[in-house]
């Protein structure tokens, strides 16, 4: 066993602590970065409890509860949130959900515990239907109703709109659709490792500029620019899989198990936490180099993706990553320019 309060973790700030609590989901989205899963496993509350109790106390953590679809395991979600609020009361808690199983009682509990909801909705019906297997017109109406439930219960929201190459020309229209449904602070994100071609890449940048100009014209904060801010200190993610294995960034989940297994830094069990000391020390030593310059969270995530790509000879996958990285660089350059202009 290896104490997380020792010299290593005691001196490192943690960016996000993701709990992918279950592999179960009622949808099968072709762009989900956690689509490479067995679709059966669910983490235990004992594993979650061990990690929460080992984290250095008196800090503010950013916890994210995700899946699969976490609301399929509501009892576990509820217990996890209660533990987080008890052990680390000042932390931010976010729940990622497709909203299908949200109810009045659940919304009331989440509001009471001050949990941020991160709903996934990519615009109008067509842009959702094409990429989310199991999504129907009835599903879309249900999601819209659930958004009303979130607003009614005064829950904070941090929605994500994923943009696909096939729908890039609908990007601005989809964004306005989400605004009309009462959403704001929307994270507009290109589908990770999708087959972005030159024309579609240029169109994404053009449409993103249009969205920022629309935001400016309304004088409101409609686009989340969180991942374009610079990280102040050397930091680390913890990404807990349903089987208890822990990764240092979310991007690893997008790759086959045989690739990501090279980067497991610890394992949660019902008895405690086992740490891969050599892997952790090696990762910390190498990743500190990137923090010698100013980087954003997007830079940090893309750095992690580049590490895992060193273990594959898939040329097409590497090329897709370079295009995705190019889009990310343009997003944060536009975000930072917009932030700078707004502060003048």
pLDDT in tens, 75-95: 999 999 999 999 999 999 999
Amino acid 196: pLDDT: 96
Q: For residues 71 and 77, is the Cβ–Cβ distance under 8 A?
A: yes
Closest CA relative to residue 263, chosen from 299, 297, 237, 296 = 237
Q: In angstroms, how far is the first alpha carbon of the chain from the final one?
A: 52
Amino acid 106: pLDDT: 97
Judge whether residue 340 has pLDDT over 90: no
N residues, the chain: 344
Per-residue pLDDT band at 13 (split at 50, 70, 90): confident
Amino acid 9: pLDDT: 66
**The two structure tokens encoding residue 188:** 């507009």
Token pair 């250095």 in the structure block, residue? 56
Count of other CB atoms within 10 angstroms of residue 28: 13
Amino acid 3: pLDDT: 53
As a whole number of angstroms, the distance between CA 94 and CA 115 comes to 6
Count of other CB atoms within 10 angstroms of residue 48: 21
As a whole number of angstroms, the distance between CA 43 and CA 231 comes to 30
Closest CA relative to residue 148, chosen from 103, 215, 94, 109 = 103
Amino acid 76: pLDDT: 98
Amino acid 344: pLDDT: 53
pLDDT per position as a tens digit, 93-122: 999 999 999 999 999 999 999 999 999 899
pLDDT per position as a tens digit, 270-314: 788 888 888 988 999 999 999 999 999 999 999 999 999 999 999
Cα torsion for 2, 4, 5, 11, to the nearest 10°? Answer: 120
Per-residue pLDDT band at 34 (split at 50, 70, 90): confident
Q: For residues 249 and 297, is the Cβ–Cβ distance under 8 A?
A: no
The mean predicted confidence, pLDDT, of the chain is 91
Rounded to two decimals, what is the model's pTM?
0.93
Amino acid 7: pLDDT: 55
DSSP H or E segment with residue 126: helix 125-129
Closest CA relative to residue 183, chosen from 128, 224, 219, 137 = 224
* Higher pLDDT pick, 34 / 9: 34
Q: Tell me which of 39-43, 58-62, 163-167 is least confident.
A: 39-43
Which residues are CB-contacts of 25 (< 8 A; sequence separation ≥ 6)? 32, 39, 67, 68, 69, 72, 98
Give the percent of the chain with pLDDT over 90: 72
Residue 77's SS3 state is helix
Q: For residues 66 and 21, is the Cβ–Cβ distance under 8 A?
A: yes
Q: C-alpha angle 76/79/81, rounded to 5°?
A: 105
Per-residue pLDDT band at 1 (split at 50, 70, 90): very low
As a whole number of angstroms, the distance between CA 298 and CA 133 comes to 28
Q: For residues 176 and 152, is the Cβ–Cβ distance under 8 A?
A: no
Amino acid 254: pLDDT: 92
As a whole number of angstroms, the distance between CA 257 and CA 312 comes to 12
Closest CA relative to residue 43, chosen from 12, 15, 72, 16 = 72
Which sequence spans correspond to the domains of the chain? 7-343
pLDDT per position as a tens digit, 209-247: 999 999 999 999 899 999 999 998 888 999 999 999 999
As a whole number of angstroms, the distance between CA 228 and CA 188 comes to 12
DSSP H or E segment with residue 301: helix 297-309
Amino acid 6: pLDDT: 55
Q: For residues 223 and 188, is the Cβ–Cβ distance under 8 A?
A: yes
Judge whether residue 4 has pLDDT over 70: no
As a whole number of angstroms, the distance between CA 332 and CA 41 comes to 36
pLDDT per position as a tens digit, 148-206: 999 899 999 999 999 999 999 999 999 999 999 888 899 999 999 999 999 999 999 99
Count of other CB atoms within 10 angstroms of residue 309: 18
- Using CA atoms, how far residue 19 sits from 85, 111, 156, 238, in Å, is 15, 20, 20, 8
Say which CATH topology domain 7-343 has: TIM Barrel (3.20.20)
């Amino acid at each position: 066993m290896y104490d997380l309060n020792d010299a290593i973790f005691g001196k490192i700030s943690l960016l996000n602590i993701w709990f992918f609590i279950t592999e179960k989901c009622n949808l099968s989205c072709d762009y989900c970065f956690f689509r490479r899963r067995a679709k059966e496993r669910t983490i235990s509350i004992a594993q979650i409890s061990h990690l929460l109790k080992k984290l250095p106390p008196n800090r503010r953590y950013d916890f994210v509860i995700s899946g699969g679809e976490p609301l399929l395991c509501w009892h576990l979600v509820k217990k996890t949130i209660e533990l987080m609020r008890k052990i680390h009361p000042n932390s931010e808690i976010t729940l990622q959900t497709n909203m299908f199983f949200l109810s009045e009682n659940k919304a009331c509990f989440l509001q009471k515990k001050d949990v941020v909801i991160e709903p996934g909705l990519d615009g109008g019906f067509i842009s959702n239907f094409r990429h989310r297997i199991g999504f129907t017109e009835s599903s879309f109406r249900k999601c819209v109703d659930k958004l009303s439930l979130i607003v009614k219960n005064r829950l904070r929201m941090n929605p994500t709109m994923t943009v696909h190459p096939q729908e890039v020309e609908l990007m601005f229209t989809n964004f306005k659709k989400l605004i009309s449904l009462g959403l704001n602070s929307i994270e507009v994100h290109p589908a990770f490792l999708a087959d972005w071609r030159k024309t579609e890449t240029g169109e994404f940048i053009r449409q993103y500029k249009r969205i920022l100009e629309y935001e400016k014209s309304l004088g409101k904060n409609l686009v989340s620019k969180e991942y374009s801010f610079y990280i102040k200190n050397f930091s680390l993610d913890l990404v807990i899989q349903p089987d208890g294995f822990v990764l240092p960034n979310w991007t690893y989940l997008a790759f086959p198990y045989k690739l990501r297994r090279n980067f497991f830094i610890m394992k949660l069990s019902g008895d405690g936490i086992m740490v891969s000391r050599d892997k952790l020390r090696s990762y910390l030593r190498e990743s500190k180099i990137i923090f010698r310059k100013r980087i954003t969270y997007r830079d940090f995530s893309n750095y992690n993706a580049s590490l895992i790509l060193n273990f594959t000879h898939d040329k097409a996958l590497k090329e897709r990553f370079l295009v995705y990285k190019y889009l990310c660089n343009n997003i944060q350059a536009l975000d930072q320019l917009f932030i700078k202009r707004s502060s003048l």
